[in-house]
Chain A
């Protein structure tokens, strides 16, 4: 079959690779119909998330059709149209039992790297390097989905492939980001990053009761799309002092909750950015935390900072004093796909949350490298390229 493989930092090539086979009772094989790019892939492609190996198949946000099931599979049949969460969860450990699926104890068969880096190993993730289990990804004609009963969800009829594909990752991540904020109604929420994840976080915050959502980015087209599609206020950080603007927009209080949906390759305009880039290039810090710093500084006293942008290692100039003295709540994590997807599919079916507009660039698998280039440079209004193997 054809698959989009990582061949070194910044290099993607479509190759002929063997087809996946059922390896365990609970496995299913899915013929991929839509497979999206995600901001996390950029961290992997660019070598910021470690442990990629030449030849690894990328992709973790996808949907498709079940073509084969292992003997232990109960919920799915050949022919089912399914969306699959990118996080692999076993269903039998304490973390799975308490619905903290991205912390599953048993789904990363190669846990030593993350145990050393982080003290413990979280769940495996499909197509997400050897630190996350070394699973083959979804930018391919077929993919093996372990624990298929738990990880794959039947898709409601009538919802198009290029919309439901985001129930795999961007939607649950955005929802979890808003869920972390503990909204009770009427709050002001600021969201850093107007990518697919940030947009879904903004919409989820509205659904969960936020009265105003303010999005921060530097790409006018992304900000305009957010205003048009979900009705948010916006700040362009390339033109405006973000902290100042947020203070004014909230009459001095600061947002009740700040969501960070940017991640470790955060961009900035000031002199600290040059400092961060140099330190990151020299590997003195692994991550550039610009937007996390801002979120902490902007957040109102006693508010919540919710981080879903991905970080891997160490950061510098972390304003711990601001977080401590303002008594902030910090919440963060990889999303618990299996916990949120069924509920999100309902909201998708009724149109309450409609992620379809994120699929700005439907492409073939062969155009994969180009799809990533558009996505990385945010060219041509690209929010997400969706590949169709």
Chain B
């Protein structure tokens, strides 16, 4: 991760990891089944960031930013130039891990591939200039299958990787634009611990995914 052109591979690792974690909250929702192609589920999502393409790429200069983008969902270890090991932790303390391989194809396009772990996936991110000086469109395409772990957990098909991808893009946008992902979960309230727990569930639902 030394030269400018490839540094932003960190954005790819972030997306790959976030999708792989496929946050538990999304589990209950499967309103629409994603499109299927050659045995893969395919979803495409985009987000517009109010920064130039160079700024979007340049943002990914350090691990700290990547760790903030993943905020407690997972930890990452770089194995070599292209390969990363992701370890995701769930609330119950369980761990799942997999390896992601990131390939920067050209300035503004990268691919990722995860072959093991809970959810084999192929992903692609493309940066395009948004019209009217609105910054940069980050367009992501994700292909995934159900791995054995997901099948065990009853997560065959379903749209939770899609929701996770949207989450990841939203976090990435917020980090680049304002340096933080706002969190109100610890704001004071007059709730009992039980009520707070129930409210946290509601918050989680309202934080996950997006437009129907």
Contacts and interface: CB of A to CB of B under 8 A. Distances in A.
Contacts of A19: 188
Interface residues of A, number: 54
Interface stretch (A90-98, A211-219, A267-275, A301-309): A90-98
Interface in A29-78: 51, 53-57, 72
A109 B189 contact: no
Contacts of A389: none
B207 A3 contact: no
Contacts of B188: 1, 3, 17-20, 57, 136, 140
A110 B203 contact: yes
Q: Could you say which of B50, B181, B199 has the most chain A C-beta atoms within 10 Å of its C-beta?
A: B50
Interface in B169-212: 170, 173-174, 177-192, 195-196, 199, 202-203, 205-212
A55 B188 CA distance: 9
Given A106-B182, A112-B205, A112-B206, A55 B190 contact: yes
Given A55-B199, A90-B174, A26 B190 contact: no
Contact of B199 (A53, A105, A112, A116): A53
A144 B205 CA distance: 23
Nearest to B210: A115
Contacts of B192: 55
B134 interface: yes
B187 A94 contact: no
Nearest to B174: A106
Nearest to A131: B206
B203 A130 contact: yes
B179 A55 contact: no
Given A24-B180, A55-B199, A134-B203, A112 B187 contact: no
B190 A111 contact: no
A119 B202 contact: no
Q: How large is the interface on B (under 10, 10 to 19, 20 to 34, 35 or more residues)?
A: 35 or more
Q: Could you say which of A3, A21, A105, A124 has the most chain B C-beta atoms within 10 Å of its C-beta?
A: A105
B184 A134 contact: yes
B46 interface: no
B135 interface: yes
A283 interface: no
A25 B183 contact: no
A124 B210 contact: no
A113 interface: yes
B58 to A, nearest CB: 15
Contacts, number: 129
Given A18-B188, A54-B191, A136-B188, A124 B134 contact: no
B189 A93 contact: no
Contact of A113 (B170, B189, B206): B206
B130 to A, nearest CB: 9
B182 A112 contact: no
A91 B50 CA distance: 11
Contacts of A120: 211
B182 A136 contact: no
A23 B184 CA distance: 9
B186 A130 contact: no
A21 B186 contact: yes
A57 B189 contact: yes
Contact of B190 (A3, A51, A88, A94): A3
A229 interface: no
Contacts of A136: 184, 187-189
A21 B180 CA distance: 16
Given A106-B173, A107-B182, A94 B50 contact: yes
Contacts of A112: 205-210
Contacts of B196: 55
A116 B212 contact: yes
Nearest to A4: B190
Interface of A: 1, 3, 5, 7, 13, 15-21, 23-26, 51, 53-57, 72, 88, 90-94, 97, 105-113, 115-116, 119-120, 124, 130-131, 133-136, 140, 144, 146-147
- What 8 A-B pairs have minimum CB-CB distances, sorted nearest first? A55-B191, A5-B190, A110-B206, A92-B178, A90-B178, A15-B190, A92-B177, A136-B187
20 contacts: A1-B188, A5-B189, A7-B190, A16-B190, A25-B179, A53-B189, A54-B190, A57-B189, A90-B178, A94-B48, A105-B177, A106-B177, A106-B178, A110-B184, A115-B212, A130-B203, A134-B184, A134-B206, A136-B187, A144-B187
Interface of B: 48, 50, 134-135, 170, 173-174, 177-192, 195-196, 199, 202-203, 205-212
